[in-house]
């Protein structure tokens, strides 16, 4: 599909399925890799999503984007939908928003709210753990920091383990209706939605740190 002699400058949005690691080479596990999805040559993932998480993953052949979008000082915005066990109270969500201890360090304040209406996503393969007498619901978290398994650790800290996790937005660019396992090269306008939110993200991080 792509010639190895062609030079590209691109930013790609990929809807990463469950069970796929955010790298092109195997890590010794049974998980699938990005090599299966026909990406252009010389692109690499910007950041990562764990194998058991789904949703928006960016890839690019521009090395400077890795620094620009991932360095903590830029505080680039990421929005996640988390399906959690039981129904969090308003107080539990306020606690989550103010920051909770994650591996001995308090998370930065974030936006956390109940999703209304609740999203109707296609079932995951394999399905989530089901407990007949334990309800679940979807909440949204908007973060300006990205630590290892942060969302899962944050929801566990308020007593609501995450059953399913989907990243739906980076900057101002949303996953939209991009099908699972599919990718697209972003247009100039879509690229700006990813990049230009950096100014607002930095301002949000400064405000968050003042509240922490």
Q: Within a domain: residue 1? A: no
Q: Within a domain: residue 174? A: yes
CA proximity to 148, closest of 184, 102, 104: 102
What integer pLDDT is reported at residue 198 of this predicted model? 53
How many domains would you assign to the chain? Answer: 1
Going by pLDDT thresholds of 50, 70 and 90, the confidence category of residue 203 is very low
Q: Within a domain: residue 4? A: no
What integer pLDDT is reported at residue 72 of this predicted model? 60
- The pTM (predicted TM-score) of the whole model is 0.87
Element (DSSP H or E) covering residue 84 = strand 78-85
Distance in angstroms (rounded) separating the CA atoms of residues 145 and 87: 25
What integer pLDDT is reported at residue 130 of this predicted model? 82
User: DSSP state, 53?
Assistant: -
What integer pLDDT is reported at residue 148 of this predicted model? 84
Going by pLDDT thresholds of 50, 70 and 90, the confidence category of residue 197 is low
Q: Within a domain: residue 176? A: yes
What integer pLDDT is reported at residue 97 of this predicted model? 96
Catalytic residue among 27, 30, 50, 177: 50
> Residue 120: which CATH number?
3.30.2350.10
Q: Within a domain: residue 28? A: yes
Does 7 score more than 90 pLDDT? Answer: no
What integer pLDDT is reported at residue 9 of this predicted model? 78
Antiparallel, parallel or unpaired: β 162-170 and 54-60 = parallel
| Residue numbers of the domain that contains 157 | 11-211
Terminal-residue alpha carbon distance, the chain: 49
- Whether 177 is catalytic is no
What integer pLDDT is reported at residue 51 of this predicted model? 97
pLDDT tens-place string over residues 44-70: 999 889 999 999 999 999 878 877 786
Does 77 score more than 50 pLDDT? Answer: yes
Q: Within a domain: residue 119? A: yes
Longest dimension (CA), the chain: 58
Q: Within a domain: residue 78? A: yes
What integer pLDDT is reported at residue 69 of this predicted model? 80
Average pLDDT over residues 150-165: 97
Chain mean pLDDT for the chain: 88
Does 211 score more than 50 pLDDT? Answer: no
Average pLDDT over residues 171-177: 95
pLDDT tens-place string over residues 79-137: 999 999 999 999 999 999 999 999 899 999 999 999 999 999 999 989 998 888 899 99
Going by pLDDT thresholds of 50, 70 and 90, the confidence category of residue 146 is confident
């Amino acid at each position: 599909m792509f010639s190895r002699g062609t030079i590209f400058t691109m930013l790609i949005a990929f809807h990463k399925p469950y069970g796929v690691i955010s790298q092109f080479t195997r890590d010794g596990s049974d998980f699938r890799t990005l090599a299966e999805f026909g990406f252009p040559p010389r692109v690499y993932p910007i950041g990562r999503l764990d194998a058991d998480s789904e949703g928006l993953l960016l890839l690019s052949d521009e090395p400077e984007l890795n620094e620009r979008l991932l360095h903590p000082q830029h505080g680039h915005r990421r929005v996640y939908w988390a399906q959690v066990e039981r129904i969090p109270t308003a107080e539990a969500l306020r606690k989550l928003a103010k920051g909770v201890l994650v591996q001995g360090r308090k998370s930065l304040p974030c936006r956390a709210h109940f999703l209304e209406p609740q999203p109707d996503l296609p079932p995951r393969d394999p399905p989530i753990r089901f407990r007949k007498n334990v309800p679940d619901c979807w909440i949204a978290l908007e973060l300006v920091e990205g630590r290892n398994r942060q969302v899962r650790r944050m929801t566990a800290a308020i007593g609501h383990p995450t059953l399913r996790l989907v990243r739906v937005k980076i900057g101002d660019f949303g996953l939209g209706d991009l099908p699972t396992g599919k990718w697209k090269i972003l247009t100039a306008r879509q690229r700006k939605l990813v990049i230009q939110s950096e100014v607002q993200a930095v301002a949000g991080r400064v405000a968050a740190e003042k509240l922490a």
